[in-house]
Structure 1
Amino acid sequence: MKTISELLEGATAQAVPVVRGIGDGQLADGTPCSEYDVRALLNHLFLVIDNFRVLAAKGSTDFSRTEDVVTGDWRGRFDDETTQLVKAWAEPGAEEGTTGGMRMPARTVGFMVLGDLTVHAWDLARATGQDFVPDPAVVTELEPGLAAMAPQARKMKVFGEPFPVPPEATAFERVLAVTGRDPGWTRPLR
């Protein structure tokens, strides 16, 4: 079984090129997350990465922040912050016990950020016309993990209702569907 940091390293390797490939002119474009445009989704993802880095160290977090951090060299900063996230989850004890304010098993919390990083990288890729192929090891771990979390995530309004997919759907299409996403979503023509 891979550690959360190893899985995050694989997810980061797939997410960073997507973020680097986003053009400034695409920041107002829609995404598969109907409540977010590209800029808002990037801001959300930066907040998630920062908070889950703190949670790895069993610290307290603040998910209510709303400042716009998609400024300056935000692409380079995304690379740096995901590197720090991987390091935080590689620290001894990061996967043990419970996390700070969330009071959930640390490994479960690690899967939450792994899911956010992977699924939102797909969201951003789809929104900006880029290819995205998730790390197969990440998908193997995410599929049962997100399926188990889905009922609670729906109660918390984090996941939508499951999207129906055919029996021949890929494992990643099933991961997307369990979060309420249409795996066939495409960006509107301009």
Structure 2
Amino acid sequence: MTGFDPRPPLAKALDQMGDLIATTDPSDADRPTPCADYTVGQLIDHVQAVVRRIGAVLAGEPFWSVPQSIPSRDWPADWAEGRRLTDAILADDSSMTREVELPWGKADGASAAASYIGELTVHAWDLAVATGRAEDLDPTLAVATLPGYQAMVPAERRGEGIPFDQVVETGPDAGPYERLVAWTGRDPGFAA
């Protein structure tokens, strides 16, 4: 395999999400998140699906073979199981060169894996902010993720069929996560 290997930063994003899930109090399940579609519990159910979808897509399975959310009764244990399955696929170098099908088109596995770094990083912010732990986030993930979002989801192409709201303006002193989530249309000043 030549070029960028997305597996190290993807592992970092998976680790960050796993740490947040493991330390989220189940009593916070009904708290709102900056992602208007999800409460804390619904967001965790969604990322339980995301961790499994990464492995499924990289194994060559259809994107929609994994639902949008997987209800979870034991958040840390279910995450660990999904992570174990996906890590097994990621360990196979051929998963990075295999052509896979995504809703936005065909890509090699490395490009598909890289796209999930962004999804996990933004949802980690959603979960951390909703539960008062934004200071626990790794800023290097936000810095690394923003250029990909800016390339794939330009500011002027928002609307029907694009799962992001309009870009939110930030000031010159905005931090890495504030700039990242503002690009995805989230309010960087969200308070639960």
Shared fold (TM-score greater than 0.5)? yes
Instruction: Give unmatched runs, 5+ long, in structure 1.
Output: none
Instruction: Report the counterpart of residue 76 of structure 1 in structure 2.
Output: 77
In the alignment, the residues of structure 1 paired with residue 71 and residue 88 of structure 2 have an alpha-carbon distance, to the nearest angstrom, of 22
Instruction: Report the counterpart of residue 94 of structure 2 in structure 1.
Output: 93
Instruction: Report the counterpart of residue 163 of structure 1 in structure 2.
Output: 168
Instruction: Report the counterpart of residue 139 of structure 1 in structure 2.
Output: 142
Whether the 8 Å CA contact 1:45–1:116 is kept in 2: the answer is no
Change in Cα spacing, 1:74 to 1:149, as seen in structure 2 (3 Å) is same
1:178 maps to 2:178: no
1:89 Cα shift?
3.0
Q: How does 1:47-58 map to 2 (within 5 A)?
A: 47-58=49-60
1:128 maps to 2:128: no
Change in Cα spacing, 1:60 to 1:75, as seen in structure 2 (3 Å) is same
Which structure has more relative contact order (CA 8 Å, sep 6+)? It is 1
Instruction: Give unmatched runs, 5+ long, in structure 2.
Output: none
* Range with bigger deviation, 144-153 or 51-60: 144-153
State the Cα deviation string for residues 159-186 of structure 1 (Å, max 9, x = none). Answer: 1111111123233322111111122211
Change in Cα spacing, 1:139 to 1:130, as seen in structure 2 (3 Å) is closer
In the alignment, the residues of structure 1 paired with residue 102 and residue 174 of structure 2 have an alpha-carbon distance, to the nearest angstrom, of 36
Of residues 12, 15, 18, the one that matches 2:14 is 12
SS at match of 1:95: helix
1:85 Cα shift?
2.7
Runs of 4 or more off by more than 6 Å in structure 1? none
In the alignment, the residues of structure 2 paired with residue 133 and residue 111 of structure 1 have an alpha-carbon distance, to the nearest angstrom, of 19
Counterpart residue type for residue 163 of structure 2: V
Change in Cα spacing, 1:48 to 1:166, as seen in structure 2 (3 Å) is same
Whether the 8 Å CA contact 1:139–1:175 is kept in 2: the answer is yes
Change in Cα spacing, 1:176 to 1:83, as seen in structure 2 (3 Å) is farther
Count of residues in Structure 1 that have an aligned counterpart in Structure 2 = 185
Change in Cα spacing, 1:67 to 1:150, as seen in structure 2 (3 Å) is closer
1:120 Cα shift?
0.6
Instruction: Report the counterpart of residue 119 of structure 2 in structure 1.
Output: 116
SS at match of 1:99: strand
TM-score, with normalisation over the residues of structure 2?
0.83
State the Cα deviation string for residues 39-83 of structure 1 (Å, max 9, x = none). Answer: 111111112221221111222132673665221x22122133234
Change in Cα spacing, 1:153 to 1:48, as seen in structure 2 (3 Å) is farther
